[in-house]
């Protein structure tokens, strides 16, 4: 069943009570961060639809009061994280319609009303217009179009058609810069990652999933705007900072941070500009919302892997994941 047909069906079923009024995005870890573009889109563009991203176990313990019959819950887990399955059950019990995004069948796909299989962002052969983040963004855009209308739906849907091409060109274009960055950071004990607006989700995933989980290097995530409200006090010539400079309205905030870092930072300050990875190829009416879809896989599949090579780290090894019980 196509995504638009799913959303239209859900909205039609709920029409007697006013249709879809709320969207809640439920997941854990990288899947949670992957919902950032869809949530950001609705919060920026929608007039009447409430949107909120909540990590799975937080939702299980403290679901917001607005969750009910007018809610669409989009739930993501690659293989069926127990907390996320429980979150889907809670959402469904509160009356929400549920869509599962998944790679492998699990109890999640049994619990949810609809299921959509996606391509992993970490697999080179994936179609990067069909990752969990891409489907989340597409769901958000289609929900808005169905519920209240979105004037740029046509150009947005056309933009998904070029995501894969833009990504693969970016991999080729950016690799040498990634190698240089990795060589400069092979002895770094901490790497600060910065972004704002539509790029913040990609910055967050790069910190928690790529640098901390896969490489076991400390990595705080800092909003480029909040950088000037205390975090900049740690900057010196030895501080490692990775700054995402995105497309869209918050670009000026990233550029302001860049100017400060150029003046007070050292050789371990690195800027990855959206224009360097092809985001300026998207129509300016929607390009802001495609930041994450290009930034996040480039960070995972190029920058993280190059740093892993430089520090001689098998990025598939873990200390606690898949080993320790989460009591």
Give pLDDT tens digits for 58-77: 999 999 999 999 999 999 99
Region for 220 from its dihedrals, namely left if φ exceeds 0, alpha if ψ lies in -120 to 50, beta otherwise: beta
Assess contact for 48 and 42: CB atoms under 8 A: no
Calculate what percentage of the chain has a pLDDT beyond 70.
99
Which residue do the tokens 């979105």 mark? 150
Q: Which residues, listed in sequence order, are joined to residue 51 by a DSSP beta bridge?
A: 23
For the chain, domains (ranges, CATH) are 3-150 (3.40.50.10490), 163-310 (3.40.50.10490)
> What's the pLDDT tens digit per position in 163-188?
999 999 999 999 999 999 999 999 99
Report pLDDT for 85. 98
Residue 234 to residue 49: CA distance in whole angstroms: 39
CA–CA distance, 256 with 199 (Å, rounded to integer): 15
Phi, psi at 116, each rounded to 5°: -135, 120
Q: What DSSP string runs through 90-117?
A: HHHHTT-EEEEEESS--HHHHHSSEEEE
Query: Is the CB of residue 280 less than 8 Å from the CB of residue 247?
Result: yes
What is the arithmetic mean of pLDDT over 79-106? 97
Give pLDDT, residue 319. 87
**What token pair was written down for 286?**
């929607």
Based on C-alpha coordinates, what's the Rg of the chain? Answer: 20
Question: Are 191 and 208 spatial neighbours (Cβ–Cβ below 8 Å)?
Answer: no
Percent of the residues in the chain that have a pLDDT greater than 90, as a whole number:
96
Q: What is the rounded average pLDDT of the residues 276-292?
A: 97
From 100, 61, 96, 53, select the one nearest 81 (Cα to Cα).
100
* Per-residue b or e along 93-119, where b marks 16 or more CB atoms closer than 10 Å to that residue's CB: ebebbbbbbbbeebbbbebbbbbbebb
Q: What is the pLDDT averaged over residues 193-220? A: 97
Q: For residue 292, what are the contacts with CB-CB under 8 A and spacing of at least 6?
A: 34, 36, 37, 133, 137, 198, 199, 201, 202
User: Sorting pLDDT into bands at 50, 70 and 90, what band is 84?
Assistant: very high
């Amino acid at each position: 069943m196509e995504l638009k047909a799913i959303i239209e069906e859900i909205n039609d079923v709920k029409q007697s009570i006013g249709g879809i009024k709320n969207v809640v995005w439920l997941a854990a870890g990288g899947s949670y961060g992957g919902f950032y573009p869809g949530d950001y889109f609705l919060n920026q563009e929608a007039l009447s639809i409430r949107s909120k991203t909540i990590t799975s176990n937080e939702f299980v313990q403290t679901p917001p009061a607005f969750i009910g019959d007018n809610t669409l819950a989009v739930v993501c887990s690659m293989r069926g994280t127990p907390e996320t399955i429980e979150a889907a059950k809670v959402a469904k019990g509160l009356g929400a319609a549920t869509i599962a995004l998944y790679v492998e069948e699990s109890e999640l796909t049994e619990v949810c009303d609809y299921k959509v299989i996606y391509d992993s962002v970490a697999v080179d052969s994936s179609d990067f217009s069909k990752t969990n983040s891409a489907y989340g963004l597409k769901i958000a855009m289609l929900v808005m179009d169905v519920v209240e209308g979105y004037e740029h739906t046509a150009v947005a849907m056309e933009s998904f058609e070029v995501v894969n091409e833009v990504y693969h060109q970016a991999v080729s274009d950016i690799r040498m810069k990634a190698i240089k960055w990795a060589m400069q950071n092979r002895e770094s004990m901490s790497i600060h990652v910065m972004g704002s607006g539509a790029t913040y989700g990609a910055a967050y995933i790069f910190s928690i999933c790529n640098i901390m989980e896969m490489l076991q290097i400390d990595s705080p995530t800092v909003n480029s705007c909040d950088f000037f409200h205390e975090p900049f006090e740690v900057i010196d010539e030895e501080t490692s900072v990775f700054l995402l400079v995105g497309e869209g309205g918050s670009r000026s905030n990233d550029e302001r941070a860049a100017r400060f870092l150029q003046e007070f930072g050292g050789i371990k300050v690195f800027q990855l500009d959206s224009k360097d990875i092809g985001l300026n190829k998207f129509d300016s009416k929607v390009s802001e919302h495609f930041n994450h879809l290009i930034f996040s896989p480039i960070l995972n599949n190029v920058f993280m892997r190059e740093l892993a090579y430089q520090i001689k780290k098998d990025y598939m090894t873990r200390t606690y994941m898949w080993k320790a019980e989460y009591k």
